[in-house]
Each structure stands twice: as structure tokens, then as C-alpha cells.
A and B are shown apart, each in its own frame.
Chain A
């Protein structure tokens, strides 16, 4: 019962983050919506592991958390530099003018 409440308490914020991702006026609202949605997914996977009686899902949730972080860094870095290379690479000039 407790884990069911936890799952409900995660799915409702997921819906709210999704609404922000759909409606969000600025770009950063959407980035933040995607990032917080990823965090909620990680927590939901952990809770699902406990509901199904297999707490070893916790390791998978940890991996997801790491990957979510790297994904957000990649997206933000992409917006800052227009590519995933270093800031002073020749590509950044080409990407900026395109």
C-alpha cells in the first residue's frame, strides 16, 4: 500500500512535468521538464522494483540517474556551443552561422 502511494505520488508529478514540457513557453522550461521527468522515471523504476518484490531494480535506477544527468549536460552543452565538441573548435563557428 505504501509503495502504491509512492507510485501515485510519482506519476502525478510526472504528469505535471509533462504539462510543463507541452506548454512551457521558454526553452529552459522544456529542458527542465525533460530532466525532472527523467528523475521521476528513475524513482518510479526503483518503486516498481519494490512493488514487484525485487529491490535489485535499485541498481538499474542508479544507472538511469547517471545517464539522465549526462543527457541533460549534453543537451545544455549543445545549446551553449551548438555542437558537442570543445568550444573553440572550427565546427562551432560553422554551426553558429547555420
Chain B
């Protein structure tokens, strides 16, 4: 009971920090501050995902959001100026559209099953079969692993093939560019010798 109250307090604090960071990102005109704050935003949302027991999602959020996106944003920042143009103009129409959509989404959550409820539609269809069969049919103690690697094995194989193909494509792109640069340099130096 006590840990429940602590969890609620932690959730409220994290959501407050998330709100402060979001307002800071919107208000800040310094692009470097925006990049670092979005990294902090990702770290807070990773902590929120951990409180929701979605540890793998949290890990991806921390790696991609706080790690790679920050570096990519800094990379984009080297191509532009350090500060945003000062152009604050209140747009009433988009504000109302955003508030309306937000209110509709919050209204939609009222009909959702409570968090962690076993009556949720997602847990009704085939999940009881997975839970019952995981230990005896697949003989893998971890249910998530048995679903990913066995029940949905072909799905996972397809995903792995896509990621493998993407990795090979990136390697080809990187390798090609380096060879071209070397060729350019050698041709340039050859011209220099001729001249």
C-alpha cells in the first residue's frame, strides 16, 4: 500500500519535470539548450516507462532519444545558427485545434480498461494460451522470450532481416563515400604533379 503511494508521488514528480522540460523546450530560443533539454526529456520519459514496467521501451528511448537524437540535432545545428529567430506570434487557431484534440484524447482514455487489468481486450484473445503453453510447449522460462522467439518466430525473423538489410545498406553507403574521397584526393594530387 505504501509503495503504491510512493509510486504515485514519483509519477507525479516525473510528470511535473516532463512538463517543465517541455515548456522549457518551447520557450528557449537557444538551439543548443533545446537539444540538451530534449535529451533530458528523453531521460525523464525513459524513467516514466520504467515505472510503467516497459523496461525495453525505456531502454530504446534512452539510447535513441537521449543518445543518438541529441548528437543528430547537434549535427544539424552546425549547419545553421545557434539561436532561433525571435518571432513570437500567438496563433489562436492552432491553439484551439491542439486543445480540442487533447481533450478528445483524454475523453477517449475514460473508456480504456484500467492499467494492468487482466480484462483488457489485449489479454483476452490468445495471450492465456501463450501463458499456459510457454513453459510446457516451448520450454523457455521467460514468456516474453518464448513469444518473440517461438510463437512469433517468423515475425521476428522478418524484422531481423529488415534490420540486417538496413545495416548492409548503411555500410555500403559509408564505404562508397570513403573510396570516392580517396579517388578524388589521388586524382587531385595527380593533377598537382602534372601542373
Contacts and interface: CB of A to CB of B under 8 A. Distances in A.
Contacts of A38: 43, 66
Nearest to B46: A41
A37 B43 contact: yes
B101 to A, nearest CB: 27
User: Chain B interface: which size bin?
Assistant: 35 or more
B36 A21 contact: yes
A94 to B, nearest CB: 10
B3 to A, nearest CB: 5
A58 to B, nearest CB: 12
Contacts, number: 107
Contacts of B58: 45, 60
A78 B55 contact: no
Contacts of B78: 82, 95, 98
A68 B42 CA distance: 12
A7 B6 contact: yes
Contacts of B50: 45, 48, 57, 60
Nearest to B3: A51
Nearest to B37: A21
Contacts of A44: 10, 47
- What is the predominant secondary structure among interface residues of chain A facing chain B? helix
User: Chain A interface: which size bin?
Assistant: 35 or more
Interface string A46-58: 0010011100010
Contact of B24 (A14, A22, A98): A22
A24 B35 CA distance: 13
Given A37-B40, A78-B71, A21 B33 contact: yes
B67 A70 contact: yes
A67 interface: yes
A67 to B, nearest CB: 6
Contacts of A82: 78
B3 A71 contact: no
26 contacts: A7-B10, A18-B17, A21-B36, A21-B37, A21-B40, A22-B20, A22-B37, A30-B36, A34-B40, A34-B66, A37-B40, A37-B43, A41-B43, A41-B47, A45-B58, A52-B3, A53-B3, A60-B55, A60-B59, A64-B59, A67-B63, A67-B67, A70-B67, A71-B66, A71-B67, A71-B71
